[in-house]
Amino acid sequence: MNSFPWLTVLGLVPLIGSVVVALLPKSMPLLAKQLAFAISLVVLGLVVVMALQFDGQSEFVFQFQESYDWIPAFGVTYSLGVDGIALVLIALSAVLVPITILAGWNDVEQPQSDSVGSVKGYFALILLLETMMIGVFAATDVFLFYVFFEAMLIPVYFMIGRYGGAQRSYAAMKFLIYSLVGGLFMLAAMIGLYVVTGTFNFTQILLGAGIDANTQKILFLGFFLAFAIKAPMWPFHTWLPDAAAASKPGTAVLLIGVLDKVGTFGMIRYCLPIFPAASDFYAPVIIALAVIGVFYGAFVALGQNDLKRLFAYSSMSHFGFIILGIFVFTTIGISGATVYMIAHGLSTAALFLTAGYLMQRRNGSSLLSDYSGVNKPAPVLAGFFLFAALSSLALPGLVSFVGEFMVLLGTFQRYMWVGGIATLGIVITAAYVLRVYQKSMTGAVGSGLEHIKDLTGREISALVPIAALTIFLGLYPAPVLNVINPAVNTVMVMVGATDPAPTVGLISTTSQGAQQ
Amino acid sequence: MQEVMPATGVFSLLWLLIALPLAGAAILLFSGRKTNKWGPYLGVFTVFVDAIIAIWMLIAMMGNSAEQRTFSQNEFSWMFAGNLKVDMAFQLDQLSMVFVLLITVVGTLIHIYSLGYMSHDPDKRKFFGYLNLFVAAMLLLVLANNYLLLYVGWEGVGLASFLLISFWQIKPTAAAAGKKAFIINRVGDVGLSLAIMVMFVTFGSVGFDEVFGSTSQASEGTLTAIGLLLLLAAAGKSAQFPLQAWLLDAMEGPTPVSALIHAATMVTAGVYLITRSNAIFDAAAWAATAVVVVGVITMFMGAIIGSAKDDIKKSLAGSTMSQIGYMVLAAGLGPVGYVFAIFHLLTHGVFKAGLFLGAGSVMHGMNDNVNMRRYGALRTAMMVTYATFIIGTLSIMGIPPFSGFWSKDSIIHAAFESNTLVGILTIIAAAITGFYMTRMAAMTFFGKARWEDGVHPHESPKVMTIPLIILAIGSTFMGIALLFWGNIETWLEPVTGFEEKHIAIPEWALITITLILVLAGAAYGWIQYARREVPLVAPRGNWLTRAARQDLYGDAVNNTLVVQPSFWLSRFLVWFDGSWIDGFVNGSAAFFGGLSARLRPYQSGFIRSYALSMVGGAVLVVLALVLVRLS
Amino acid sequence: MNPSNYVILSALLFGIGALGVLVRRNAIVVFMSVELMLNAANLAFVAFARMNGNLDGQVVAFFVMVVAAAEVVVGLAIIVQIFRSRRSASIDEPNLLKY
């Protein structure tokens, strides 16, 4: 293996960039934007180079590993490393950050008063957040993970609280306290884990003797609660609509597109392998909550009049699918959940960015009832909006379909009725997504919308990469699947689950026997 | 079993069949207004080249022996994880061949027709882009070698249909119709998804070959479940009962769309699905029976709706439902019917496309009015349209020697072979067909002129009439050609299986009875609508007419049972989310806020009172320590 | 001499100091009372160190002295500032430091 500290460098570049951007004089907002964009592109380039060196067939679960002592007295190490799942999520963040910067180029204006932040501050915070996101996905030490997990809140808190809309203080505070409550439970569980295993290092925890089942059940809850709040899972979701409604579109993209994935990522990375018995024990409850979330989110989205809140509830519905896929313990389900995370990141980005473009053209109003017939004056905007909508409803041929279908198939394999019921969700998804499109884009042009401008070159260039990736990975998901499948297999082995075999016909060699 | 051949020679171009219109769609949709000039021609060109390749493939395929007519081409692994492995792979056999021909040839004609029909539309490049997208998706649907890839095409045609129905989306009705079509189709998609899942759980694969190869090992219950789920899917796409409600609204789209998608090709995808899955339905008798029942119900619903509508396109849409009902019931009959279902599908694809394009031509000359009560006496004004429309009418009524006769008669015969009751029902439906088609032709082309003021009917340009003529020629000779020269039974037999049973009634008697009933229906229609004055405003009519005008209450049922409850639930949950879940969250915040408000006065600002409380606290601690010590 | 006498003395001094803090209004006097309490604690520490025969208590006493010195610096500065602005050294005056 190479010894170049890829992950540390990857985390440091945006961090240094963030500091540099923050130190620029306030009077040079353009330079701050350009610099931030350039740095995010450098990170993206580094991620691409790193991903190309990732060995999908390797016997090592974690690659690009680094490990240094940090607080030896408590067995805390600075350990980084990525498996396939972490790699694709890092890649997702690296893709979305430059897109967000480009799309949000004019989202922040030079402040008139002190209560709102400066232009450079916004972009510095985005870069700082990127460091945190890379760190949280790359950490292989539970303590380090926790540090990033909590530190991530700081830039987001300021991005909502200083740059958001009317309800920004309320939303930022709600977000912060909600997340901190979750983090507190995780902290307690983490200390418990240390007491039981004597280390914070993820690999060593796994190598050590298994944890007693009853202890697992308690510790699992601490971790899971934090992840369920972050994901967000029903009924811990109410911070999300407020946060999404109060934030800038770019903030919402990073918040829902990447940050919330930390929750579902944590479930795959920490809950399942460390607490297999507890995962098994709680799975029925979690699956029930996930299915409730799928339908609950979809039905509430059907009745929303605020675009951002609507997309937040739709995300909650999608997160229901992801959590469902994780907790059915089938290879197809977990792989599907991972693909779904990528797909959801892309489709959410497309939705929020197009909605943001739309709102910008009408004084920032996010009310659905303020829009109609936009297709006439701005066909390109309407076209991208439709694309985002289709991506959100998992049209076959787009990457969201790959994720959603695999999740449903994996669920059906294990619990036929749950899979069957969850499949009905695709109808409601179509209903609320197309309702938005129909109301806002079609029909007679609403008053005040006759002369709105269509998308500019900059705005389109932020959306094109998303659309291209969505289609490309939908038709050819192999680059992602090749990388995540070995990681998923490892998770399956750790959980001790095997895939149900087909009842008749060709029994493939990878699956023996029915459910354990 | 058929031998699967590698796709060499012309068959190596299988992927190109799909890629070509897809590329056309991409170019047209992404390049913006500047392609408005030449874009439509590009759209026609890609489909035309596809048609040539398809004909070339047909010729090459006919050169092979019957067992060597299946060609497969594997592109790459598409979805894989655990024991799931789905390839991006195409397969061309006799069944998909006839579909490819139908799609590309009729598609080319309709593209050409659209050059004239859409010539004044400011967004015509978009229209051709969507049409190209449709052709690509439909070809993917019939060329896929597994169910999951078929699903991609399945939703792709649904998307194209959605886009084209709501093409004039400035009209709220068009946008609503598109959405409705998509959502109802999604209900069918649930069926297809679940069918695929059951297949995977049962057979460990979703490929056609693997699934059909091991049906014998699966239990009949499983196969029945798969069959019923596939039927649900087919009902959604083919507008069969109980998912029929979208098709009539879909007529909001431009007429060429109605012809290509909602008459000739896409709506018949359900029939393709059932026929393709013949191995499953053959082994699941209950599911096959359900298919017949659904087909029969829809056959009558469509015919009744078609008889009552005054909108020429909706009347034709009712007729399409009815004819697809014929195909579905034929497919449900098993090996006696599959071949004829496809046979009728092909002839119907041609004559119904002709009829729709004819209707479009009439509308073109009548300022886009669709109300037949405002037509009349158009036979002199538009000769070509008139002649071709009448040929189409005779064909769909099943008058020999027009092509509809051969295919419909085959279905009636096959129905008698398996169940006399079904057979009788098909004859009755044929009689209704005679009535509504005569009514349509009479109201449009005969009787007195009832035109609105300022309407000057005129014949359409050549670019529109030439496709009409070609389709009329097809409507005339295709039946004979396919049956006697093309030997459709033997052609499809390796894929679908075929058997013939002896029936008690002789062939000639059956034909005579059918023809007499059809002509009786036609005569009644003629007397009612050509001999008598047609009122400008529809009379109230009897209860059946009124029900049929309401689409037999399909929308009302959907609204009461599904749409309204969904919105109620949605409203309830919005309230619940705000008042209860978020209420709890904010309530806990308010609780602690209130608590702190209560405690706040104790922070009085008097330093000495703080000191006193500190001393008090210290004394308490000391006392506690002492007490613990002493006890 | 019995070391427990020192402890009793220390308790007495501490009591006087605490009483002084509670009843006196002049900030300077309150301050002196606080010092008295600190020194009472110091005395106790030293006495305990003597009783236990190790130096821990003495070390703590040094720490207390350092902290007390620092506290005096800050505290006196604040008192002087308050006196300057309000012309009063009463500690009941600055009761603005509340919710």
pLDDT number for residue C98: 63
The number of domains in chain B is 1
C contacts of B606 (beta carbons < 8 Å): 92, 95
Stretch B96-125: mean pLDDT? 89
Chain A 452-511, CB below 8 Å of chain B: which residues?
A: 475-478, 481, 485, 488, 499-508, 510-511
Chains meeting C at 3+ CB pairs closer than 8 A?
B
Kindly compute the dihedral angle of the four CA atoms of residues A487, A488, A492, A495, in this order, to the nearest 10 degrees: 70
Q: What is the rounded CA–CA span in Å between residue A194 and residue A454? A: 56
B contacts of C92 (beta carbons < 8 Å): 606-608
| C-beta atoms of B608 and C22 within 8 A | yes
Stretch B83-106: mean pLDDT? 91
Residue A423: domain span: 281-501
Residue A76 belongs to some domain of the structure: no
Cβ proximity of A499 and A421 under 8 Å: no
pLDDT at residue A509 greater than cutoff 60: no
Residue B589 belongs to some domain of the structure: no
B contacts of A405 (beta carbons < 8 Å): 79, 148, 193
Residue A90 belongs to some domain of the structure: no
- Comparing A108-117, A425-434, B56-65, B170-179, the range with the smallest average pLDDT is A108-117
A contacts of B200 (beta carbons < 8 Å): 409, 412-413, 502
Chains meeting B at 3+ CB pairs closer than 8 A?
A, C
% of chain B exceeding 70 in pLDDT: 100
B contacts of A235 (beta carbons < 8 Å): 581
Q: Do chains A and C touch (3 or more CB pairs under 8 A)?
A: no
Stretch A53-76: mean pLDDT? 83
Angle subtended by helix axes B94-117 and B462-480, to nearest 10: 160
**Three-state helix/strand/coil letters over B15-31:** HHHHHHHHHHHHHHHHC
pLDDT number for residue B602: 80
What's the pLDDT tens digit per position in B506-547?
888 889 999 999 999 999 999 888 888 888 888 887 888 888
pLDDT at residue C39 greater than cutoff 90: yes
Q: Which of C14, C16, C19, C22 to mutate to test the interface with B (most CBs of B within 10 A)?
A: C22
A513 band by pLDDT with thresholds 50, 70 and 90 = very low
Name the residue among B603, B604, B611 with its Cβ closest to that of C21.
Answer: B611
pLDDT number for residue A166: 81
pLDDT number for residue A115: 59
pLDDT at residue A59 greater than cutoff 80: no
- At residue A71, the 3 state secondary structure works out as strand
Stretch B395-400: mean pLDDT? 90
A392 at B interface, C-beta within 8 A: no
Stretch B352-356: mean pLDDT? 91
pLDDT at residue A464 greater than cutoff 70: yes
| C-beta atoms of B170 and A396 within 8 A | no
pLDDT number for residue A283: 93
The number of domains in chain A is 1
Cβ proximity of A437 and A389 under 8 Å: yes
pLDDT at residue C16 greater than cutoff 70: yes
Residue A129 belongs to some domain of the structure: no
ipTM over 0.85? The verdict is: yes
B284: DSSP letter: -
Q: What is the rounded CA–CA span in Å between residue B264 and residue B403? A: 15
Residue B615 belongs to some domain of the structure: no
Chain A 141-200, CB below 8 Å of chain B: which residues?
A: 174, 177-178
Residue type, A35: L
Mean pLDDT of chain B: 89
Residue predicted with more confidence, A263 or B368: A263
Our CA-based measurement puts residue C50 at a distance from the nearest CA of chain B, in whole angstroms, of 23
A301 band by pLDDT with thresholds 50, 70 and 90 = very high
Residue B255 belongs to some domain of the structure: yes
**Three-state helix/strand/coil letters over C31-61:** HHHHHHHHHHHHHHHHHHHHHHCCCHHHHHH
Q: What is the rounded CA–CA span in Å between residue B348 and residue B355? A: 10
Residue B381: domain span: 4-549
B contacts of A376 (beta carbons < 8 Å): 170
| C-beta atoms of B605 and C18 within 8 A | no
Residue predicted with more confidence, B391 or B400: B391
Query: Cα–Cα distances in Å, from A451 out to A156, B126, B170?
Result: 35, 22, 16
Nearest to A243 by CA among A149, A330, A331, A309: A309
> What six digits make up the tokens of A482?
């090749």
Stretch C68-97: mean pLDDT? 82
pLDDT number for residue B380: 86
B559 at A interface, C-beta within 8 A: no
pLDDT number for residue A116: 64
B186 band by pLDDT with thresholds 50, 70 and 90 = very high
Name the residue among B600, B607, B608 with its Cβ closest to that of C99.
Answer: B600
Q: What is the rounded CA–CA span in Å between residue A178 and residue A182? A: 7
Stretch A254-258: mean pLDDT? 92
| C-beta atoms of A505 and B202 within 8 A | yes
Chain B 448-477, CB below 8 Å of chain A: which residues?
A: none
| C-beta atoms of B603 and C99 within 8 A | yes
A444: DSSP letter: S
Residue B72 belongs to some domain of the structure: yes
B contacts of A335 (beta carbons < 8 Å): 81-82
pLDDT number for residue A353: 93
A430 at B interface, C-beta within 8 A: yes
Residue A417 belongs to some domain of the structure: yes
Residue B561 belongs to some domain of the structure: no
Cβ proximity of A509 and A435 under 8 Å: no
Cβ proximity of A224 and A282 under 8 Å: yes
Chains meeting A at 3+ CB pairs closer than 8 A?
B
| C-beta atoms of B585 and A178 within 8 A | yes
pLDDT at residue A507 greater than cutoff 80: no
% of chain B exceeding 90 in pLDDT: 42
Residue B264 belongs to some domain of the structure: yes
Q: Give the global pTM.
A: 0.88
Q: What is the DSSP string of A228-268?
A: HHHTT-TTS-THHHHHHHHS-HHHHIIIIIIITHHHHHHII
Name the residue among A396, A437, A507 with its Cβ closest to that of B155.
Answer: A396
Cβ proximity of A336 and A403 under 8 Å: yes
| C-beta atoms of C92 and B611 within 8 A | no
The beta strands (E) that lie in A141-217 are given as: none
Alpha carbon B336 to its chain centroid, in Å, reads: 24
Q: What is chain C's length?
A: 99
Stretch B110-136: mean pLDDT? 89
What's the pLDDT tens digit per position in A320-336?
999 999 999 999 999 99
pLDDT at residue A187 greater than cutoff 80: yes
Q: What is chain B's length?
A: 631
What structural domains does chain C harbor? 3-86 (1.10.287.3510)
Q: Taking the CA atoms of chain A, what radius of gyration do you get in angstroms?
A: 22
Our CA-based measurement puts residue B188 at a distance from the nearest CA of chain A, in whole angstroms, of 9
Our CA-based measurement puts residue C19 at a distance from the nearest CA of chain B, in whole angstroms, of 9
Q: What is the rounded CA–CA span in Å between residue B245 and residue A396? A: 24
The HSE-up count of residue A56 (CA atoms within 13 Å, CB side) is: 12
Strand pairing of B70-81 and B4-6? Answer: parallel
